[in-house]
A and B are shown apart, each in its own frame.
Chain A
Amino acid sequence: MADVKIGNLHKSYGTVEVLKDINLQVEDGAFVVLVGPSGCGKSTLLRSIAGLEPITSGAISIGGRNVSDLAPAQREIAMVFQSYALYPHMNVENNMAFGLKFAGVPKAEIADRVNEAARILQLEPLLKRRPRELSGGQRQRVAIGRAIVRHPKVFLFDEPLSNLDAALRINTRVEIARLHKLLKATIVYVTHDQVEAMTLADKIVVMNKGRVEQVGKPLELYYRPANLFVARFIGSPAMNTLAATLDGKGKAAAVAGVSLPLPAAVSGTGEITIGFRPEHCSIGKTGIPARVELVERLGETGYVHARTADGAALLVEVKGDPGLAQGAEVRVAPAAGHLHLFDGEGVRLAGT
C-alpha cells in the first residue's frame, strides 16, 4: 500500500478547463471519497490518477514515485469500473487472471492469487462461469476480485454501486468497507451519492466545477461546511439557507423581519447567508415566521415544508406527527450552535 499525492493538477480539453489546480493528499491506507454533482470532474480526476486520461500540468505521485508520465499498468493501481467492464468472453477465473498473465506472473502464483481473491469475495463456486451468467452483485464482486489479484498500491473505484439495486447497494457498500479493513488498502472512490460518501470515507473530497470545494472527515463537512456549496450538497434533506443582514455589532442577524441572536460575535457587516439543517431547527413561539405549504408524515419523523413572507423555502424535521395543517402560520427557530453563517461569496464566516 502507498499514499497518493496530487499537486497543482490541471486538465483541459482544448480551451475547456475540467480540472483546476487540484491539490490532494491521500494517506497510506485511507479511504478517500470524491463526491460532487455530475460534471464536477470527479471521474476525470480518478481517471487521471489511473493514467487513462493525460493531464495538462501538475504531478501525481503514488508511494513517493512520480507516475504522471507512466502507463496505467506501470502505476501499480487497480480500477473497478462503473459498468464492471468484465471481459464477456472469459470466465470469472480468466477475467481475474488475464492482467497477471500479461504482466508475466508465474502460473502457480496467478492461481494462488485468484484463489485468494475468490475466497475473500466468496466467488469460488462461480470461477468457471461467464459474466453473462452472473447477477449484477456477482459481477461487481468479480470486478473487485480482478482488482485485488493485482496486489495494487491503490484501488480506484468509479461509481461502483450505481448499477446495483437499492438493497444490493447497501450490502455491497458494507462489503467494500469490510474489504478496506481486511486489505488495509488505500482507496480512492468516486460517487455522486453522499450517503456512500458519508458511510465509507475516512476523508471526503467535495468537488464542484473542476475545483475542490472542501476536504475533510465526513462529520466535519456536516458540522462545519466551508462554503455554501458544501453546506447544500452534504446532508439529506439539504440545509435551509436564507438571506440575512448582520447588525453593526455582529451579534445578531436580521432574517425575514426578525432578529436572530448569533452564538458568537462575528466581524463584518452587511448581507450574509445563514444556514441551518432541517434536523437542527424546531417549530415554536419564536423564530422566523413562515407559512406551512406541505406536511410529509413518515411515521417516525415528519417534514414540514414552509415558506417565508419573502418566498424562501424552509424545511423542518419534526418527531412524530407535527399536527399542522396547510396554511398554518408558524415560527421556525434554529437550534443554538447549529447556525452556519456565510459571507456574500458563500464562504463560511471566520470565527463561526
Chain B
Amino acid sequence: METASQGRVQQHGIVGMSPGAYARVLIFFLAPAVLVYTLFSVYPLLDTIISSFYSKQNDGSYVYNGVANFVTLLTDPTWSAPFWNAFINNIKFFLIHMLVQNPIGLLLAALLSLPVLRFRTAYRTLIFMPTMLSVVIIGFTWQLILSPLWGIAKMFLQAFGLGFLFGPWLGEESTALITISLISVWQFVGIPMILIYTALLAIPDELIDAATVDGLNQFQAFFHVKLPLIWPTIGLVSVLTFVNNFNAFDLIYAMKGALAGPNFSADIMGTLFYRVFFGNQLQLGDVSMGATIATMMFLIILCGVMIYLFLIQRRLQRYAF
C-alpha cells in the first residue's frame, strides 16, 4: 500500500493515473495474450472435453450420454484392447526417452562443459542439428538406413563382420517401437543437452575450485556439487519429455503410417486418436470417441504434470548464484 503525497491512500494503479486510464492500460497489455490463448488453447480443450460427453446417433445428431463413452473405451474389448495397447506402448516410449535420451543429454552436457574441450561449438551444433530437421525427413532417412534390402546399417555391420546382428528392426513386432523410440531419442537428445548445459554454465567456477581444494576430483565434483544444483533443470527436462512423449504422433505416422504396424506394435495414444477421430481405411471417423481419447490423453498428461508439480518440484530447491 502506497500513501500518495496528498495523504490519499492509493491501493491500485499508478500514481497520477486515473482509474479509467489504468484499466485501459491493463486491457491493452492483457488482451492479446488472453484472446490468442483462449481462441487456440482454452476453447479447443473445452470443446474436446464437451464433445467426449456426446455420442453420434444414426441420424447424424449428437446426444448427451454422460460418461458412457469413457465406460465404452475402458470396458468394451473392441475399444479397451487398442486403448491399453497404445497406453502401454506410450509408457514404453516415454521410459526409453527418460532412460536413454535424458541420461545421454546429461552426459553430453557434462562433456561439453569440460574446460579443456576443443571444437565445443561444432559438437554442440552437430548434436543439436537433428532437432531442427523435419520429422518426415528424419523418418524417411532412418527408414532408408535401416532397410533390410539396401540399408547402410546392414552393410555397415557386415563390413565389421557383424552382419548376423542385423534384423528388420522396423518390421518386427518385438523391435519396431524400440527402434522408433531410439530414432526419436537420436533426434531430440539436443534439447536436454542444451538445457542442462546452460544450467551447468550458470554454476560459478569458484564453486568447483572450492570442491577441488576440498579434495574432490572432477568426477566427484560433478556428482556431489554440480548434479545437486541442476536437479531442477533435470526435473524440467523430465516433465517436458513426458508431455512431448504423450502428445507424440508425427514420427510414428511418418515411419509406420496411422496403423503404427506391424500389428499395432508401435501404436501410441496419438496414432490411436488419429485413427479414431479422422477414420482410417475401413474405420469411420468418430468425433465423440476421438474426443474421448483426446480427453484421456489430457487427463494422463495432467496427472503426470500434477505429480511433478506437487510431489517432485516442491522437493527441488532452486539456487541463485
List residues of chain A with CB under 8 Å of any chain B CB: 47, 50, 52, 71-73, 77-79, 81-83, 85-89, 98-99, 102-103, 130, 132, 146
- CB <8 Å contact, A88 and B229: yes
- CB <8 Å contact, B215 and A102: yes
- CB <8 Å contact, B213 and A72: yes
List residues of chain B with CB under 8 Å of any chain A CB: 204, 206-207, 209-216, 220, 224-225, 228-229, 317, 319-321
Contacts of A71 in B (CB 8 A): 212, 215
Q: How far is the CB of A278 from chain B (nearest CB, A)?
A: 38
Contacts of A99 in B (CB 8 A): 213-215
Contacts of A47 in B (CB 8 A): 209
- CB <8 Å contact, A79 and B210: yes
Most buried by A among B206, B224, B317: B206
- CB <8 Å contact, A81 and B320: no
Contacts of B207 in A (CB 8 A): 85, 87
* Complex CA–CA separation, A99 to B225 (angstroms): 12
- CB <8 Å contact, A89 and B206: no
Chain A residue at minimum C-beta to C-beta distance from B228: A89
Known: A73-B215, A102-B215. A85 touches B319 (CB 8 A): no
Most buried by A among B209, B212, B214, B225: B214
Contacts of A73 in B (CB 8 A): 212-216
* Complex CA–CA separation, A89 to B210 (angstroms): 14
Q: How far is the CB of B206 from chain A (nearest CB, A)?
A: 4
* Complex CA–CA separation, A102 to B224 (angstroms): 11
Contacts of B210 in A (CB 8 A): 79, 81, 85-87, 146
Contacts of A78 in B (CB 8 A): 213
Contacts of A103 in B (CB 8 A): 215
Q: How far is the CB of A160 from chain B (nearest CB, A)?
A: 12
Chain B binding surface, main DSSP class: helix
Q: How far is the CB of B277 from chain A (nearest CB, A)?
A: 47
Supply 17 A–B pairs (Cβ within 8 Å), ascending by A.
Answer: A50-B209, A71-B215, A72-B212, A73-B212, A79-B210, A81-B209, A81-B210, A82-B206, A83-B204, A83-B206, A85-B204, A85-B209, A89-B229, A98-B224, A99-B215, A103-B215, A132-B319
A sample of 12 more A-B contacts (CB under 8 A), given A73-B213, A98-B214, A102-B220, is: A50-B209, A50-B213, A72-B212, A72-B215, A73-B214, A79-B210, A87-B225, A89-B229, A89-B317, A102-B216, A130-B317, A146-B210
Chain B residue at minimum C-beta to C-beta distance from A143: B210
Contacts of B215 in A (CB 8 A): 71-73, 99, 102-103
- CB <8 Å contact, A102 and B214: yes
Most buried by A among B213, B220, B321: B213
* Complex CA–CA separation, A78 to B209 (angstroms): 11
* Complex CA–CA separation, A216 to B4 (angstroms): 60
Q: How far is the CB of A69 from chain B (nearest CB, A)?
A: 15
Contacts of A87 in B (CB 8 A): 207, 210-211, 225
Q: How far is the CB of A98 from chain B (nearest CB, A)?
A: 6
- CB <8 Å contact, B206 and A132: no
Q: How far is the CB of B99 from chain A (nearest CB, A)?
A: 25
Chain A residue at minimum C-beta to C-beta distance from B214: A99
Contacts of B216 in A (CB 8 A): 73, 102
Known: A50-B213, A52-B212, A102-B215. A85 touches B206 (CB 8 A): yes
- CB <8 Å contact, B320 and A79: no
Q: How far is the CB of B208 from chain A (nearest CB, A)?
A: 9
Contacts of B211 in A (CB 8 A): 87
- CB <8 Å contact, B320 and A132: yes
Contacts of B212 in A (CB 8 A): 52, 71-73
* Complex CA–CA separation, A87 to B228 (angstroms): 10
* Complex CA–CA separation, A87 to B226 (angstroms): 10
* Complex CA–CA separation, A81 to B215 (angstroms): 16
